[in-house]
Amino acid sequence: MVKSNNNKTTDHLGFEAELFKAADKLRGNMEPSDYKHVALGLIFLKYISDAFETRHAELLADDPKAAEDKDEYLADNIFWVPKDARWSHLQANAKRPEIGTLIDDAMRAIEKDNESLKGVLPKDYARSALNKVMLGELIDLISGIAMNESGDKSKDVLGRVYEYFLSQFAGAEGKRGGEFYTPRSVVQVLVQMLEPYQGRVYDPCCGSGGMFVQSEKFVLEHGGRLGDIAIYGQESNYTTWRLAKMNLAVRDMWLTGFDAPSMHTMYIDKPMRGHGLMQAIARVNRVFRDKPAGLIVDYIGIAQNLKSALAQYSKPDQDKTGIDEREAVAVLLEKVEIVRDMFFGFDYQTGLGGTPSERLAMMASAIEWILDKQQQWAAAEKTPEASR
């Protein structure tokens, strides 16, 4: 564990600065714009490996067979890390001249087993221009981060380190650093003005994701939880987008274009495949553990993607997914009757066969109809609680 001069642990503000100074000394003549990908990529690898090893140890103690089941990690939003890609393996081989190749192989193996990380991780540690002695020393330095911490504490420490390193690299790059990093103080002011207690947080130029990190902190500081906000972001620079994906992953946040709304239905509004799709479903099931019955998912044109994703999982999991078609049709017909009763007396025919403008106008009228009905129902109740 990195310690400050006053003998406090990594909880003490300032250890990040000491760690960055040590890492920067190893940089030598390498440009900060290149070195940041080397250092941040390794910090990210340490993070996902630590998270994996923690869960792996828990599963081994409970059920050794489950410890080798990818689904167990997926359900807890933890990346699967193959044996030769784990930090302990890289640390043990840090002094070998082929350490760059070992790291690249580790990154490729992780991307192969985790679809949401494809194309995200740096994979050029074996290049001849990168000093392998420096690389080994950097691995040793990063190995000390959160060494005596565990669970969420370790994740928080690594998240702080990643964020601090981002800010320092941005400062070293000068004006160019503004392309991927906005000073935290500026972002904090924006977030305080926006007050994102719940709903959607959208950043059209998200950079490395600082707005989302500070929004998460705002929600937690005000007694909320991660599921209260959904994050949406766009970034035109591919390299910066990769930094954002890693930055959010070390915070257990997901820039998937949507998050689970506070209901029992998850609406998927972008293409998702394989592990990414199953990960989203597993996340919703974990966040809303107390919901009645099962998760209802409104799939918009991705039925085939779901079937392909399920093919990667065990037969028992496939058998537990979905419900009998006759049962589904019965529920659908029941809901149709409820909706018909709600709209009794309302002319919705233009919504079925009218022009686009007529259908839009009908939808607005339908909303007004329901709002009026809602007021009538509330007025008919005899107690304030029922009226609400």
pLDDT tens by residue, 173-215:
776 666 667 787 888 888 988 888 888 787 877 788 888 888 8
Q: Is the pLDDT of residue 87 over 70?
A: yes
Question: Which sign does the torsion angle of CA 371, 373, 379, 384 carry?
Answer: negative
The DSSP bridge partners found for residue 203 are: 233
Residue ranges of the alpha helices (H) in the chain?
Answer: 15-27, 32-62, 70-74, 87-92, 99-113, 132-143, 151-173, 184-194, 210-221, 238-249, 274-287, 303-310, 315-320, 325-342, 350-353, 356-380, 384-387
Q: Is the pLDDT of residue 313 over 70?
A: no
Contact 78, 58 (CB under 8 A): no
265-267 and 296-298: which strand pairing? parallel
Span 285-289, average pLDDT: 51
Q: Distance (Å, rounded) from C-alpha 111 to C-alpha 67?
A: 20
Of 145, 160, 150, 151, the residue nearest 3 (C-alpha): 145
Contact 280, 267 (CB under 8 A): no
Q: Distance (Å, rounded) from C-alpha 112 to C-alpha 105?
A: 10
Q: Is the pLDDT of residue 265 over 70?
A: no
Span 233-259, average pLDDT: 69
Concatenating the DSSP letter of every residue in 123-149 gives --TT-TTS-HHHHHHHHHHHHTTTTT-
Of 318, 190, 196, the residue nearest 253 (C-alpha): 196
pTM for the model: 0.59
Map out the domains of the chain with their CATH numbers.
Answer: 15-176 (1.20.1260.30), 185-320 (no CATH), 339-387 (no CATH)
Q: Is the pLDDT of residue 21 over 50?
A: yes
In the chain, % of residues over pLDDT 70: 70
Q: Distance (Å, rounded) from C-alpha 275 to C-alpha 75?
A: 11
What is the DSSP-derived secondary structure letter of residue 121? Answer: S
Mean pLDDT of the chain: 76
Q: Which residue has the tokens 């503000």?
A: 13
Of 24, 42, 149, the residue nearest 99 (C-alpha): 42
Q: Distance (Å, rounded) from C-alpha 281 to C-alpha 268?
A: 10
Half-sphere exposure of 359 (CA within 13 A, CB side): 6
Angle in degrees, CA 7, 144, 46, rounded to 5 = 140
pLDDT (tens digit, 9 = 90+) per residue, 129-145?
Answer: 899 999 999 999 888 87
The whole-number pLDDT of residue 1 equals 34
Q: Is the pLDDT of residue 302 over 90?
A: no
The whole-number pLDDT of residue 275 equals 58
pLDDT (tens digit, 9 = 90+) per residue, 224-234?
Answer: 876 778 777 77
Contact 210, 184 (CB under 8 A): yes
